[in-house]
Structure 1
Amino acid sequence: MPDCTAPRDLTASPGAWQASLTLGFADDAGTTRLYNKLHHGPLRVQKALYPEDERVCQAIIVHPPGGVVGGDQLEIDIGVGAQAHAFITTPGAAKWYQANGKVSRQSVHLHVNEHAALEWLPQETIFFDTANVVLEQHVELAEGATFLGCEILCMGRRGSGEVFNTGRVRQRSSIRRAGRLIWWEQGDLIGGRLDSPLTLHGKTVCATLTAAGKPLPAAVLNDIRAAIGADGEHVFGITQTKGVLVARHLGDDSETARRLMLTVWRHLRPHLLGREAVTPRIWQT
């Protein structure tokens, strides 16, 4: 298994951003409130929104420069207090530009306390050719906590004819419950080597939805497979083990990937969170 850890370069290249964002959510007599909001650099969060009701607090993370360049380092830390429910998304696709000889990094740490819920659903991520990126995501769950997260990765810009030939994207993700590791994976996507069945099998878009909560009956997974199957021919799979459910898709179109992952989310949300799915308005703009 490749080592996906790149040496940490603590010196920023000229013009590079060192940005961090810390958010804290807490339950206040049945209302989830964004009580802690700290930032350094260009990472921001818009005001707290309540498109469903007061129990679910939605926050939209924005990165004003519009993209990430070589040498940029982003740190995101989110805590959800007991009984609270936070929904985090972004206003549009994240774009990782050329490396310029520097590694770009994003490190995400998510902490979900007892009987709290966190939905981490950023929009798609686009990696331009020659981007050199390290992505880390670590989720810490207390007993009774629920996490539902999704990522859609686009290698190159197929619509513009740009192929991801010379870049590199390294990933590492983990989920722990009460300190015990229940999910861990790492990946190393190297430009020009994505045709192998061990990588993307020649596809340019990969999507993963991960859910950690109460175990779901097989009938729920079968319903999802039937719904995806009715949507056409897709490279799609869904499995569940040790309280972690993972759905994956490989393809060449980000809109298709989004539609399929939203189908999975809409099926899972009532079972995991006791709520029907409400699509954020920002996704429709």
Structure 2
Amino acid sequence: MNLPANPSLFVPQWNAELDLAYARVGDTTRPTRRRHLGPLRVQKHLYPEGPEVCQHIIIHPPAGIAGGDRLTLAAQAGPGAWAQLTSPGAAKWYRAEVPARQSLELSVAPGATLEWLPQETLVFSGAQAHLDARIDLHGDARLCYWDVVALGRPASGEAFTSGYFQAALDIRRDGELIWHERQRLPGGDRLLHSPIGLRGQPVFATLIITGQADPACLEACRALPCQGQGDLTQLPGLVIARCLTGEALDARDWLIRLWRLLRPQLLGRDAVPPRIWTT
């Protein structure tokens, strides 16, 4: 390996890729592709709800993302398949001199369902975090997607005073853009405390699920207590929920309670929380 003339410019990088695919075979969703490069992989496939839903736990052995790292994740659910992807713990983005990146691409075929339900993302002060997600839905494909982001380390009293968090999310159905979102939050920015921004809350969370919920279900969701501020909106074909809180666990608990109410109606199955969430 050739090092640069100025050693201070050398930044070690740890790139990782994971490519997954799922197919419906009879009454069972089976993994049909499981390729990985570097320290990103899944454990054995699990069926806690029966053969129709294949659950994978995505593992990143370094346990943290440092400057220069790049993670690329892709998952494809074939016709009629149901895949649920989660993680064993929080993803930690460390203080860095250069950006780190995560790219996510999900593709869901007609009749298929994909749930992207990772645990929280902790963005340390001084991190330079880029997260990009592109989701393609086809026909009547169904999706449940969430994220929980904590800026700084609220439990340790660390404020998000430097670095930045940047995220992009695009969701398309049959090529038509149905959700487009961009975020950029610099450390120490006034938006972190502004009443039109995060209002001094270091944690924000989003849940997006396809379908049209009935009014009674929406009212039940709005009645759920939130340790902070949370609400949800029915848009054409999408239910969007957001909250601001002081602790990542409070945000995650609120999302799980919403998911318990929304999943049976919009995805057609009772919600069975993965065991890994309680370990």
Q: What range is the shorter-chain TM-score in? A: over 0.9
Q: Structure 2 length normalisation: TM-score?
A: 0.94
Q: Does 1:268 align with 2:262?
A: yes
Secondary structure of 1:261 counterpart: helix
Aligned equivalents of 2:163, 2:246: Cα separation in 1: 18
Query: Which of 103, 107, 122 is matched with 1:107 structurally?
Result: 103
Give the 3 Å change call, closer, same or farther, for CA 203–232 of structure 1 in structure 2.
closer
Query: Which residue in the other structure is 1:277 paired with?
Result: 271
1:127, 1:156 within 8 Å by CA — same for their partners in 2?
A: yes
Cα deviation, residue 145, structure 1:
0.5
Gaps of 5+ in 1: 1-11
Aligned equivalents of 1:161, 1:111: Cα separation in 2: 39
User: Deviating runs (4+, > 2 A) in structure 1?
Assistant: 12-15, 231-234
Cα deviation, residue 234, structure 1:
3.1
Query: Which residue in the other structure is 2:80 paired with?
Result: 83
Give the 3 Å change call, closer, same or farther, for CA 114–40 of structure 1 in structure 2.
same
Aligned equivalents of 1:57, 1:44: Cα separation in 2: 15
Cα deviation, residue 240, structure 1:
1.4
Q: Which amino acid aligns with 1:197?
A: P
Secondary structure of 1:255 counterpart: helix
Cα deviation, residue 13, structure 1:
5.3
Cα deviation, residue 21, structure 1:
0.5
Aligned equivalents of 2:138, 2:212: Cα separation in 1: 16
Query: Which residue in the other structure is 1:195 paired with?
Result: 193
Query: Which of 40, 54, 69 is matched with 2:37 structurally?
Result: 40
Question: Mapping of 1:225-236 within 5 angstroms?
Answer: 225-226=222-223, 228=224, 231=225, 234-236=228-230
Question: Mapping of 1:113-124 within 5 angstroms?
Answer: 113-124=109-120
Question: Mapping of 1:213-232 within 5 angstroms?
Answer: 214-226=211-223, 228=224, 231=225
Give the 3 Å change call, closer, same or farther, for CA 60–233 of structure 1 in structure 2.
closer
Q: Which amino acid aligns with 1:149?
A: Y
Query: Which of 2, 5, 18 is matched with 1:21 structurally?
Result: 18
Secondary structure of 2:145 counterpart: strand
Cα deviation, residue 159, structure 1:
1.7
Give the 3 Å change call, closer, same or farther, for CA 198–188 of structure 1 in structure 2.
farther
Q: CA RMSD in A?
A: 1.2
Q: Which amino acid aligns with 1:272?
A: L
Give the 3 Å change call, closer, same or farther, for CA 216–76 of structure 1 in structure 2.
same
Q: Which amino acid aligns with 1:140?
A: D
Aligned equivalents of 1:238, 1:260: Cα separation in 2: 12
1:170, 1:189 within 8 Å by CA — same for their partners in 2?
A: yes
Percent of residue pairs identical: 44
Secondary structure of 1:69 counterpart: coil
Aligned equivalents of 2:95, 2:247: Cα separation in 1: 22
Q: Structure 1 length normalisation: TM-score?
A: 0.92
Query: Which of 58, 62, 75 is matched with 2:59 structurally?
Result: 62
Query: Which residue in the other structure is 1:171 paired with?
Result: 167
Aligned equivalents of 1:252, 1:44: Cα separation in 2: 31
Summarize deviations over 1:226-273 as a string: whole Å, max 9, x none: 1x1xx3663011001121111001010111111110011000110112
Cα deviation, residue 156, structure 1:
0.6
Query: Which residue in the other structure is 1:135 paired with?
Result: 131
Cα deviation, residue 219, structure 1:
2.1
Aligned equivalents of 2:194, 2:220: Cα separation in 1: 30
Q: Which amino acid aligns with 2:197?
A: T
Summarize deviations over 1:98-149 as a string: whole Å, max 9, x none: 11x2110001000000010001000001011100011111110011110001
Cα deviation, residue 217, structure 1:
1.8
Query: Which residue in the other structure is 2:250 paired with?
Result: 256
Q: Which amino acid aligns with 1:155?
A: L
Query: Which residue in the other structure is 1:181 paired with?
Result: 177
User: When the two structures are aligned, how many residues end up with a matched partner?
Assistant: 269
Give the 3 Å change call, closer, same or farther, for CA 279–85 of structure 1 in structure 2.
same
Query: Which of 238, 246, 253 is matched with 2:240 structurally?
Result: 246
Aligned equivalents of 2:19, 2:214: Cα separation in 1: 36
